[in-house]
Amino acid sequence: MSTLSKYLQIDGVAQTFRTATGDFPALRNIDLNVTKGEFVALIGHSGCGKSTLLNLIAGLTRPTEGTLLCANKEIDGPGPERAMVFQNHSLLPWLTCFDNVYLGVERVFGNHARIDGRAKESKAQLKERTDAALAMVGLTHASHKRPGEISGGMKQRVGIARALAMEPQVLLMDEPFGALDALTRAKLQDELLAIVAATHSTVVMVTHDVDEAVLLADKIVMMTNGPAATIGEVLHVALPRPRSRVALADDAQYQTYRKAVIDFLYTRQGHIEKT
């Protein structure tokens, strides 16, 4: 039970960056637990260190202080069990959408030393997994196109397919829809809700969009302004699933959650723009 309730365990994490002008404390005193199957949104003003925290969970950077555990194992580097969807999609432009997804699939399931200890899969099985992942994000028709030939929303969907195809234990998303227009963003949010419901994924998502956070998350982690940012407040969103953005638009409870996040962001953590 304890592994389930504290699937991702972050204890007393602090991150200080060495810069030319001296030490820059980005994060301090971060304590956070994520349950298996939980959807967590990290929200805060830009520069509050939410991406820094996500990079720590991904293992791309190591904390200056504290520990991060995933399934009771210390996170000591990046790994395919913590797949990441990048803000700028980060697809390799010389590979087709299929090959971009296949790259991750091959690494996880076509490998002799599989993480789950099972035998390595055949080429046909790997291909099937890749096709299934692309079908899940509705991109079967574009699988042989290169990223340069498809729209921004489609690229982001390939990025999600690449991450999901690896069947990660935790899906990390760094403002995945930040660069998209409002309509595409709404469509992808709905698709993500459906995919997460179907796959029971554990998700940690960085966002600066209040509606996105309330619509998607079970738990909204609100961060104070940097430098030396920390978790200001945690809001549990008890809205029933499946959630529909149309029905929620005039739901009183939804508005209460929304108000709580806005209140935190703009009243208590009113951002002072440095010029």
Partner 1 sequence: MAPPLSVRLKPLVALVLPPLAGFALLLLIWSLVAMGNSSGLPTPLDTWKQALTVFSDPFYSNGPNDQGVGWNVLSSLRRVALGFGLAALVGIPLGFIIGRFEFLSRMINPIISLLRPVSPLAWLPIGLLVFKGANPAAIWTIFICSIWPMVINTAVGVQRVPQDYMNVARVLNLSEWKIFTTILFPSVLPYMLTGVRLAVGTAWLVIVAAEMLTGGVGIGFWVWDEWNNLNVRNIIIAIFVIGIVGLVLEYALIRLATAFTFDEVRT
Q: Which is nearer to partner 1, 17 or 86 (by Cβ)?
A: 86
Is residue 175 within 8 Å of residue 188, measured between CB atoms?
A: no
* Structure-token pair, residue 199: 């796959």
Least distance between partner 1 and beta carbon 168 (Å): 10
**95 near partner 1, judged by CB under 8 A:** yes
User: Binding to partner 1 (CB under 8 A): which residues in 64-93?
Assistant: 77-80, 82-84, 86, 88, 90, 92-93
In the list 63, 147, 176, 226, the residue contacting partner 1 (rule: CB under 8 A) is 147
* Structure-token pair, residue 32: 């956070």
**157 near partner 1, judged by CB under 8 A:** no
In the list 62, 73, 107, 259, the residue contacting partner 1 (rule: CB under 8 A) is 107
CA proximity to 163, closest of 58, 43, 243, 56? 58
Least distance between partner 1 and beta carbon 171 (Å): 12
Q: Which is nearer to partner 1, 28 or 157 (by Cβ)?
A: 157
Least distance between partner 1 and beta carbon 44 (Å): 22
- Which of these segments, 30-38, 101-109, 220-228, 264-272, binds partner 1 (CB under 8 A)? 101-109
Burial tier of 189 (Cβ tally within 10 Å: 0-12, 13-18, 19+): buried
Name residue 227's amino acid.
Answer: P
**117 near partner 1, judged by CB under 8 A:** no
CA angle in degrees (0–180, nearest 5) for 232-236-237:
125
Q: Under rule CB under 8 A, how many of the chain's residues touch partner 1?
A: 23
Q: Which is nearer to partner 1, 146 or 208 (by Cβ)?
A: 146
Q: What is the C-alpha radius of gyration for the chain, rounded to an integer number of angstroms?
A: 19
CA proximity to 195, closest of 5, 39, 36, 54? 39
Q: Which is nearer to partner 1, 94 or 266 (by Cβ)?
A: 94
User: Binding to partner 1 (CB under 8 A): which residues in 30-69?
Assistant: 58, 60
With tokens 């199957």, the residue in question is: 37
Nearest-angstrom CA–CA distance, 202 and 37: 4
* Torsion of Cα atoms, 253 then 258 then 261 then 262, to 10°: -140
User: Binding to partner 1 (CB under 8 A): which residues in 221-260?
Assistant: none
Q: Which is nearer to partner 1, 61 or 184 (by Cβ)?
A: 61
- Per DSSP, helices labelled H in the chain are 2-5, 50-58, 97-109, 123-136, 152-165, 182-199, 210-216, 245-248, 252-262
User: Binding to partner 1 (CB under 8 A): which residues in 158-187?
Assistant: 166
* Interacting residue ranges for partner 1, rule: CB under 8 A: 58, 60, 77-80, 82-84, 86, 88, 90, 92-95, 103-104, 107, 146-148, 166
